[in-house]
Chain A
Amino acid sequence: MRRTLPIKKLAIANRGEIACRVNRAAKDLGLETVQLVSEADTVSLAARLADEVKVIGPPHPVRSYLNANAVLSAARESGADAVHPGYGFLSENAGFADAVERAGLIFVGPSGSTIRLMGDKVAARTQARNAGVPTVPGSDSVITDMDEAMALAESIGFPVMIKASSGGGGRGIRVAENAEELRKLAPQASSEAAAAFGDTGIYIEKLIEKARHIEVQVLGDGLDVVHYFERECSLQRRRQKVWEEAPSAAVCDSVRARLCASAVDLAKSVNYRGAGTVEYLYDDLTGEFYFIEMNTRIQVEHPVTEMICGTDLVVGMIRVCAGEALESTQVEIARNGHAIEVRLNAEDPANNFMPCPGIVSGLRIPRGDGIRFDHMLYDGYAVPPFYDSLLGKLIVWGPDRRRAMARLNSALDRLAIGGLPTTAPLFEALADSADVQANAIHTGWMEKWLEQNTDKLTSQGETTA
């Protein structure tokens, strides 16, 4: 017999499709829900679905969804005993997690100290290495000497990236293909760093060419951790994922086993509580994977994992954060078939993905076995311009990848979102591409493909002016 959860009422501190998704999980657990909204979101689908709605501030996210004090006071006033932060906004804000706990409420996520640790790139990398998780080979401290740079580059192998230690946002990054280039470029990077940041220090890191983005879903209860296998998210535009799959068709069972075990090792090393994702770069040529970072929240693409594992990760994270032990042991978690998710954004793919808010009309949602649509839409809904452009996610399942792709095509045919342009034409074109069909992709593939295929992205009949 299951103990009753120490949560009766859950405050949803997010918006859009994930707020609707969290509401559904809360309802499945028999919880009351209070949806915290900005003034622009009082008419949102999430507000319609929740038992109660509480306004936290003006439309701009800085004054509402990112305002930790306003969010926490509203949650307390509503009598909620737990807060679900969704993704983005305050979900990886360690101070907010601490404040929620200090106020005597349950934060549906890891402890503030875990969030803080994993949010610090250097500390997270060190933590990963100490847990035996492979990291991208490179210098762990600043290099100031040319001989040291050369010795390190030779030991990790070319090509290498040279980064200014004080840089950021891609500034001061150079690629050296061989020793000769390194000898020429390292001093340049160093002097450029000195000019720009007053610091001559550089870092050297192995360049993983044509890498895939593969990530492992974990769930922990603070003592034990299990994984729910991996997802592949190599189709990206400007480092934003647009299409995700589970499992990755690129890894074999032995790599998969090592990859998933390493994610569990890392999460166990921090007594992880809640749902989390350990992200890796995967090198097809060598079969090696390298830790990038850990995301300490539920992710946008979690449904593909749910589809192949037959689990509800949002329910799972609420339970463990409420103090329950993990429901399944690792051996009880199996995967079956293949799932694909595509992100429907309010953007015009024919016009350089210009974000285009508008009023939704003629909404037609495909239904049937192996089809799921997580979204925030209804006919007549005016999509506000103040937030992320994600409208919803179409998720399909098939017994194998080929049949999942077929179902994706069929579901896209039957999906209609009128009144504003969406990224649906992008996915029709991607599904047609031989490389995508063969899964011959990497994180840089889509931007190159876009350069040659913009003509295929003309939107099919939205904008009912």
Chain B
Amino acid sequence: MASRHEVKSPIPGTFYRKPAPEEPPFVEIGDTVAEGDVVALVEVMKSFHQVKADASGTVSGFPLRDGEPVTAGMTIVELD
């Protein structure tokens, strides 16, 4: 029973898909994530905050590109 879920950024800042520039992304499309898995970083005022999946599912999309600005409440990862 697949249902869509959107992981939203709790804070405004800069969205990153990777833990560090030279490292691979936390998750890719098609990956299965469990609730609590780190899916992104948001940089706010020079400090980095992990964003965790608040549901389990399969990653189906990223509305933002790596390094783009994000506002609080914006969807950063889509799950199916």
Instruction: Give A residues with C-beta under 8 Å from B.
Output: 40, 59-60, 346-347, 354-357, 385-389
Asked whether, in the complex, the Cβ of A387 is within 8 Å of the Cβ of B45, the reply is yes
Are B47 and A385 touching (Cβ within 8 A)?
A: no
Would A59 and B46 be within 8 Å (CB), given that A385-B11, A386-B13 are in contact? no
Q: B14 — which chain A residues lie within 8 A by C-beta?
A: 59-60, 385-386
Expressed in whole angstroms, the Cα–Cα distance for A347 and B14 within the complex equals 17
On whether the beta carbons of A60 and B12 are closer than 8 Å, the reply is: no
A17, B19: Cα distance in complex, Å: 31
Q: Does B44 contact A (CB under 8 A)?
A: yes
Minimum CB distance partner of A39 in chain B: B69
Within 8 A of A (CB), among B1-47: 11-14, 43-47
Shortest Cβ distance from residue A407 to the other chain B in the assembled complex, whole angstroms: 29
Shortest A86–chain B CB gap in Å is 16
The answer to whether B45 and A389 have CB atoms under 8 Å apart is yes
Residue of A nearest to B13 (CB): A385
Interchain nearest-CB distance for B53 vs A (Å): 21
Q: Which residues of A contact B46 (CB under 8 A)?
A: 355, 387-389
Can you list 18 contacts pairing A with B, beta carbon distance less than 8 Å? Answer: A40-B69, A59-B69, A60-B14, A60-B67, A60-B69, A355-B44, A355-B47, A357-B13, A357-B44, A385-B45, A385-B69, A386-B13, A386-B14, A387-B45, A387-B46, A388-B45, A388-B46, A389-B46
Write the nearest CB–CB distance from A137 to chain B, whole angstroms: 34
- The answer to whether B45 touches A346, judged by C-beta atoms less than 8 angstroms apart, is yes
Q: Residue B44 contacts which of A40, A59, A60, A385 (CB distance < 8 angstroms)?
A: A385
Contact A357 B12, CB 8 Å, known A60-B67, A386-B69: yes
0/1 string, B40-75, CB within 8 A of A gives 1: 000111110000000000000000000101000000
Residues of A within 8 A of B69 (CB): 40, 59-60, 385-386
Rounded to whole angstroms, the CA-CA distance of A204 and B75 in the bound complex is 51
Q: How far is the CA of A60 from the CA of B65 in the complex (A)?
A: 14
Residues of B within 8 A of A387 (CB): 45-46
Which residues of chain A are within 8 angstroms of B45 by Cβ–Cβ distance? 346-347, 355, 357, 385-389
> Hey, which chain B residues are within 8 Å of A40, CB to CB?
69
The 7 closest A-B pairs by CB, nearest first: A355-B45, A385-B12, A385-B13, A389-B45, A385-B44, A355-B44, A355-B47
Chain A residue at minimum C-beta to C-beta distance from B69: A59
Name the residue on A nearest B42 (C-beta).
Answer: A385
- Closest chain B CB from A216 CB (angstroms): 28
A299 to B13 Cα, complex, angstroms? 26
Q: Specify which of A347, A386, A389 lies most central, judged by the most chain B CB atoms within 10 Å of its CB.
A: A386
CA distance A60 to B43 in the complex (A): 10
CA distance A346 to B12 in the complex (A): 13
Residue of B nearest to A355 (CB): B45
List the A side residues contacting B43 at CB < 8 Å.
385-386
Which among B12, B43, B45 has the highest number of chain A CB atoms within 10 Å? B45
Residues of A within 8 A of B67 (CB): 60
Q: Which residues of B contact A389 (CB under 8 A)?
A: 45-46
Chain A residue at smallest Cβ distance from B47? A355
A60: B residues at CB distance < 8 A: 14, 67, 69
**A386–B43 CA distance with the chains assembled, in angstroms:** 8
Q: Which of chain B's residues have a CB closer than 8 A to the CB of A357? A: 12-13, 44-45
Say how far A420's CB is from chain B's closest CB, in angstroms. Answer: 11
Q: How far in angstroms is the closest Cβ of chain B from A51?
A: 28
Closest chain B residue, CB of each to CB of A387: B45
CB distance from B51 to the nearest CB of A (A): 14
**Residues of B close to A346: CB separation below 8 A:** 45
Q: Which residues of B contact A356 (CB under 8 A)?
A: 11
Report the Cα distance A346→B45, complex, angstroms: 9
